[in-house]
Amino acid sequence: MANRNLLSWIEISKKALSHNIKSLAVLSGKSKLAVSVKANAYGHGLLEISGLLINHHEIEYLTVHSFEEAQAARLGGWPRKIMILGPVQANMLEALFDYDIEPVIFEKTTLRNLGSISKRLKKNIRTHLKLETGTNRQGITENELEDFVKIYKRYAYLKKPYGASTHFANIEDTTNHEYAEFQLKNFNRMIKKLASLQMKPTVRHTASSAALILFKKTHFDLVRPGIAMYGHWPSKETIATHLMQGGKNNLFKPLLSWKTRITQLKSVAADEFVGYGCTYRTTKKTRLAVLPVGYYDGYSRALSNHSYVLVGGKRAPLRGRVCMNLMMADVSEIKGVKLGDEVTLIGRSGRDSVSAEQLAGWSNSINYEILSRLGSHIPRIIV
């Protein structure tokens, strides 16, 4: 195994990725797929995931947050479309033309600057308007639409918005979807207004994973799932609604496992403290495994004394605080543990498992945060 010399590594299952993409393709039907690889592909590794996606021709777009991510994906060999969901600094706008990268526009200065660059280069660019429908994050209000249309009309190379998009505020956090319906109504009204101004966008897109799974009428021409491709449900509410709609629980399989090794084994007497702050005290003679992983790597300090890892399919509870680069687990009850043994931090081991969702629950977070904060320094290995 290539990981024999590694102290901590992340395994990415190619087979699970294919399974999830098949599910996304079935769910999206005739709508095209734009999958999110922002935040280092939700912690899975931008280059590893975009590399695997090249051969999945059902994926038309990668969506990213920043220009730097878009550039990395392009230079890494991604041959199809790339959309930047977040802001682009003024000094990077010209590079969008060079790399054939599509920005999402929510700000007039950016569009004007793109217009003048397009004129100078005599080059077209595909842009997407972000419409404000009720999330009040990035987006153009209905009153501002005409100003944006004027800019499109002023620059021949901009032509019109290639895409028009919005993002829902409240699909994954609730089983009541009135607010999503309200946003959808706003979106449709703004699209109509654009059409009446001779600015009918070629592609309309609104659906993240939860909307893709639960709401067919949000699909339009293109869907933008992220977390589902990595095999995780956006929330408990999303899976509950899906099951209530008669859906199955087998759509998505997690791609990612996170592993480490035992780098020290020690016996500690009863009534001894473990770790910073003396937050744990042994009640009996205890065998501790020291693990070379800590909050720097993305194992939250909030999990101190609140989590378990798996050694040979058996649970070893964390004892004491998670340190910056180390943590301690109690292996007293596990037979035959040896120095160098593999330890599972996220994923399956034998007949047991520990999930990103469990870690999120124990640390007052969500699976998105657990995954996206896995340190980018940890090697990703495709299995």
User: Judged by CB under 6 A, does residue 231 bind ligand PLP?
Assistant: no
Q: How far is the CB of 373 from ligand PLP (least distance, A)?
A: 15
Q: How far is the CB of 320 from ligand PLP (least distance, A)?
A: 34
Q: Considering only 144-152, 224-232, 267-275, 358-366, which stretch makes contact with ligand PLP by CB under 6 A?
A: 224-232
The one catalytic residue among 22, 236, 276, 285: 276
Burial class of residue 100 (count of CB atoms within 10 Å of its CB; 0-12, 13-18, 19+): middle
Asked whether 164 and 194 are in contact (CB, 8 A), the reply is: yes
The only residue of 234, 254, 298, 347 in contact with ligand PLP, by rule CB under 6 A: 234
Question: How many CA atoms are closer than 13 Å to the CA of 266, on its beta-carbon side?
Answer: 10
Residue 161 or 234: which CB sits closer to ligand PLP?
A: 234
The only residue of 23, 36, 118, 286 in contact with ligand PLP, by rule CB under 6 A: 36
Q: Considering only 6-14, 220-228, 261-269, 328-336, which stretch makes contact with ligand PLP by CB under 6 A?
A: 220-228
276 catalytic? Reply is yes
Instruction: Give me the residue whose beta carbon is nearest to ligand PLP.
Output: 226
User: Judged by CB under 6 A, does residue 208 bind ligand PLP?
Assistant: yes
* Structure-token pair, residue 234: 């956006």
What distance in Å separates the CA atoms of residue 226 and residue 242, rounded to the nearest whole number?
17
308 to each of 154, 263, 320, 353, 359, how far by Cα in Å? 60, 17, 12, 10, 9
Q: Is 62 helix (H, G, I), strand (E, B) or coil?
A: strand
Q: How far is the CB of 183 from ligand PLP (least distance, A)?
A: 13
Pairing of strands 342-349, 256-261: antiparallel
Buried b (16+ CB within 10 A) or exposed e, 205-237: bbbbbbbbbbbeebbbebbbbbbbbbbbbbbeb
Neighbours of 90 (CB within 10 A): 10
Q: How far is the CB of 234 from ligand PLP (least distance, A)?
A: 5
End-to-end CA distance of the chain: give it in Å, rounded.
Answer: 11
Q: How far is the CB of 229 from ligand PLP (least distance, A)?
A: 8
Q: How far is the CB of 222 from ligand PLP (least distance, A)?
A: 11
Pairing of strands 327-330, 380-382: unpaired
Q: Considering only 223-231, 259-267, 270-278, 325-333, which stretch makes contact with ligand PLP by CB under 6 A?
A: 223-231
Q: How many residues bind ligand PLP (CB under 6 A)?
A: 12
38 catalytic? Reply is yes
Asked whether 38 and 45 are in contact (CB, 8 A), the reply is: no
**CA nearest neighbour of 236 among 167, 176, 175, 170:** 175
User: Judged by CB under 6 A, does residue 254 bind ligand PLP?
Assistant: no
Q: Which of residues 71-130 bind ligand PLP (CB under 6 A)?
A: 85
Q: Considering only 218-226, 260-268, 318-326, 369-377, which stretch makes contact with ligand PLP by CB under 6 A?
A: 218-226
Identify the residue whose tokens are 């975009």.
50
The only residue of 13, 23, 209, 304 in contact with ligand PLP, by rule CB under 6 A: 209
Q: How far is the CB of 366 from ligand PLP (least distance, A)?
A: 10
Asked whether 214 and 171 are in contact (CB, 8 A), the reply is: yes
Compose the 131-170 pattern: x for residues touching ligand PLP by CB under 6 A, - for all others. Answer: ------------------------------------x---
Q: Contact positions toward ligand PLP, by CB under 6 A?
A: 36, 38, 85, 167, 208-209, 224-228, 234
Catalytic residues: 38, 276
